[in-house]
Structure 1
Amino acid sequence: MSRTADPAAPRRAPTMADVAQVAGVSHQTVSRVLSDHPNVRDTTRAEVLRAIEALGYRRNSSARALVTRRTLTLGVVACNPTLFGPASTLFGLEEAARDEGYMVSAVTLRRHTPKALADAIDHLSDWGVEGIVVIVPEREAVAALAELKLPFPLVTVEGGHGLPIPGVSVDQELGARLVTGHLLAGGHRTVWHVAGPQNWLEAEARVQGWRATLEEAGVEVPPPLVGDWTPLSGYRAGQELAGRVSAGSGRRGSPEVSAVFVANDQMALGVLRAFREAGLSVPGQVAIAGFDDIPEAEFFAPPLTTVRQDFTAVGQASIRLLVDQLESGTTRGGERVVIEPRLIVRSSSNPS
């Protein structure tokens, strides 16, 4: 009695031998086509490619790794991936890696202790990654990297300052200078600042750019208020600033609050709410600007002036630095790629 295949049974994945049989060539010829070997006739190559498409053949990456000793997989360690900046950077890295023909294996961290970072790198090493990109926005994480012995090439994003490790970053100080200069050009006597967490390198650079611009303009530098990147911390800072807003001089000897640079757009959202609840007009009484240009920024009330970071360019530069090291077999030392930000002017700082 003959047996018939069960249509509900799982279909066996096609193999290289199946491709060879359908194309009428040898297993070795299929392998040469897949590796883009030059010694294959065009007609034969076309037959093999047609067979691959007809069968839906997919190369077994594990088998390939055994032969070539390459996994074509890159690792990423991302700190605080729920925040817009790290999340957007991670997406840009994954997209750039695919364009270069690599897969990405990511480990996300909420705490950046030396042990957590070392464990993440060990985990990725066990999975056979060829190199790693580490998004290290906090000073603690950068210090931890300096203590690690790395078994493969590594590139840092927004960190690694002073380390003999190649890295990519947005020019945070320039972004802060652009937005602070824009607010001063609007006729404000000074610009207040709601800063990010003090242990974040990006927040530190934005404070430096803001402060330097005010000092160069010869205007008073108000004490910065410190937040934690969240709208709630921005709201609380906005409540404090709202109490200082007046038509004349500031309270307790502080300069008048008529312009505020907020270190990220989420905190700026909180500041806007606090000002709205206090009955303050933006930008009529107080001009506000943020940083990051999150997708929602242009839909704030009013639309938010901010600084745009090119996370696609960050991802491409980071992956290119890593792949160049893998392909050349050399390290790049402390080479750094710096991406320029762009000021986006909207009505929160620009009365019409």
Structure 2
Amino acid sequence: MPAKRSSIADRLLAWYDVQARALPWRALPGTPAPDPYRVWLSEIMLQQTTVATVRPKFAAFTERWPDFAAFAAADDAEVMAAWAGLGYYARARNLIACARAVVADHGGRLPDTEAELRALPGIGDYTAAAIAAIAFGRRAVAVDANVERVVARLFAIRESLPAARGAIRQAAGSITPDARAGDLWQAMMDLGQAICTPRAPKCLLCPLAQDCDGRATGAPETFPVKAPKRVGPQRYGTIFWLERGREVLLVRRAPKGLLGGMRALPTGPWEAAPPGLAAAPADTDWELRNATISHVFTHFRLICALAVARGGAHETAGEWWPIDRLDEAGLPTLFLKAARAVRREG
């Protein structure tokens, strides 16, 4: 390994040995290897989700389902409800499928190579590399958003994203040691979270400052270079709040697609123009409220009108849920926003 590359790895690992964050899924330097189940679960939960959001969910999941066997035997609906608040719900469906594949095909033990890990549901290139390195000590290159930012700055990679990802991965591979690769990537993640932040990097505190080509330019915050942001399409829908006494109608969304398998408030189609009361769950007197509910998904922004009806013995598919226990239903954020809007308006 060239001198600069070796210096980066050595300096970063020395910093990590002192500054590593204590996280419930992590084995700190000098402690026994982490439980692969906990590494796998945390890596899936942390995809596009913050550590602060994941911590309580991780604790709840591992208490309820402490290993692959318990998770594989879990009821799908219970897992989906427990997942609420973490977003990107396809991850929860993949967790269930992956746990069952590990039990059925690998005797309940997570495989330890990137190739075998990639063959499991919900595990892509990054997650396979991260698990192989962190849980099993393999030399693997795990590039998440924090690592991408740190490496782009270290090497002042001027090509814009996403085209730059190949060069970033190659540069990351050039500093990967044969030993402690997992610690290196966790150190990079911690560095990106605390010091090499997106907008105001704290270069004076950085253990890699003397090695950083981006800092030498005088503008490290300009790396990684990002292509102009594309504006996603906008869709419209209607969310229906139907009360019966002290209960509200909830439905189970179709297993596949956005928010698949989740409990939800009824909603009509999401279309290019406002659909009004199309697909209302009951033939009754609906009141369209002034409030609108907006939510940004990965590929589009959704704006929903809110329709409310109360009273009557409505015969309709779904389940009637106690309004004062709605926080136990595991509703996705979109529908929690709607529930809060109804409560505010009364």
TM-score, with length taken from structure 1: 0.24
TM-score, with length taken from structure 2: 0.24
Structure ID, larger Rg: 1
